[in-house]
Amino acid sequence: MGKSRASLLPSLIGGIVLGVVIATVFFHTASNHDSKTTTTPISATVTSLTAQPSANALLEDERNTIDVFQNTSLSVVFITNKALRRDFFSMNVFEVPQGSGSGFVWDAKGHIVTNFHVVQGASALSVTLYDNTTYDAELVGQEPSKDIAIVRIDAPRSKLHPVVVGSSEGLRVGQKVIAIGNPFGLDQTLTTGVVSALGREIKSVSNRTIQGVIQTDAAINPGNSGGPLLNSRGELIGINTAIYSTSGSSAGIGFAVPVNIVRRVVPQLIEFGKVIRPGLGVEIVQDYIAQRWGVEGAVVAYVQRGSAAYRAGLKGLSENMWGEYRLGDIITGINNQPVKNFDDLGNELEKYQVGDVVEVNVLRGKSKTTIKVTLQEVE
């Protein structure tokens, strides 16, 4: 029995030593594992925190809008339309504001582009620049049928920052647009939106149709008229001209005259004070009378003697001995483009220049014919 206990003692001591060694190794491994798991999240957290953007950081679209405003707002002006009034008691004449709108600098000579309806009926005009300096303005030219007018101020060239003129070709629905103006007299106001539709038609002050108009949802309110509509590059693509609203304020439907019309009209207004308009040299029966007669087309009422139409052989109305009118020529097209009324005729002819030869499609009695006419300048 004593011998058996003596032989078990070395085995017991060896087992204890082996257990201590295994425990030591396990504890060391666990310590290293715990150390790693506690330090890794701290590193990851620091990394993720440093990757978070600043609360004041601007989005790319915001930076673009700010850049366009900073670069273009110097070109936008505030226009005041003044009327002369006479004091009832003293009989003295004085000026009172009768309207206001926006405009923009066209060139370094002081020419300002705006809407015709902004300056219509003005006895005097003033233009306020971005730095709140105000100058008297003179009316240079106007084209009511396109709602465009030019005024000029005598300001230092250092204060005149012409707008960058773009193109209305290639515009797409959904494209970002920016409007800058002075709604309700609040100067240097910016609104943004998109091109909502293209190819709209609106009536001008002269009741002529303006074609190819840009529709936008950028907020346009009274006082925005005449201001620029810009693309995301800060280029002029139109003149803000009208809104569709039942309340008189923005309802998300605004209209702008496309810049390609502006580029064609403005140089003529600056040089001649008017648009050199090509025409035939005829007078047309008013549309409501032609409709009453059941006629579709532009009914020639009178051919001016010596005019292009006179030389080409067009015929107007004739009157018999009983005072009854007999139809002459009815213009149904220009170069095979249909003409249904006076408005259509004007819109087709303005595509050409004075001196161009066009084919006038005519209904004479029951016969259709084509007459070549060299376009002349008309009022």
On whether the pTM is more than 0.75, the answer is no
The pLDDT tens digits for 244-253 are 545 455 556 8
Q: What is the CATH number of domain 72-159?
A: 2.40.10.10
Q: Say whether 161 is catalytic.
A: no
The pLDDT tens digits for 209-234 are 888 899 998 888 778 889 999 999 99
| Annotation: CATH topology of 278-378 | Pdz3 Domain (2.30.42)
Q: Which of 147, 217, 329, 343 is catalytic?
A: 147
Q: Say whether 147 is catalytic.
A: yes
The pLDDT tens digits for 231-268 are 999 999 999 987 654 545 555 688 999 999 999 999 99
Q: Where in the chain is the domain with CATH 2.40.10.10?
A: 72-159, 176-275
Q: Does residue 2 or residue 79 have the better pLDDT?
A: 79
The pLDDT tens digits for 329-341 are 999 999 999 999 9
> What is d(CA 362, CA 299) in angstroms, rounded to the nearest whole number?
10
Q: Say whether 217 is catalytic.
A: no
Cβ-proximal residues to 286 (8 Å cutoff; 6+ apart), any chain: 342
Q: What is the CATH number of domain 176-275?
A: 2.40.10.10
Q: Which of 225, 250, 307, 343 is catalytic?
A: 225
The stretch 283-311 carries a mean pLDDT of: 93
pLDDT at 54: 61
The pLDDT tens digits for 16-72 are 444 544 444 444 444 444 444 444 454 444 444 445 566 578 889 899 999 999 999
Q: Which of 117, 187, 196, 204 is catalytic?
A: 117
pLDDT at 238: 95
Residue 256, token pair as written in the block: 């702008």
pLDDT at 26: 43
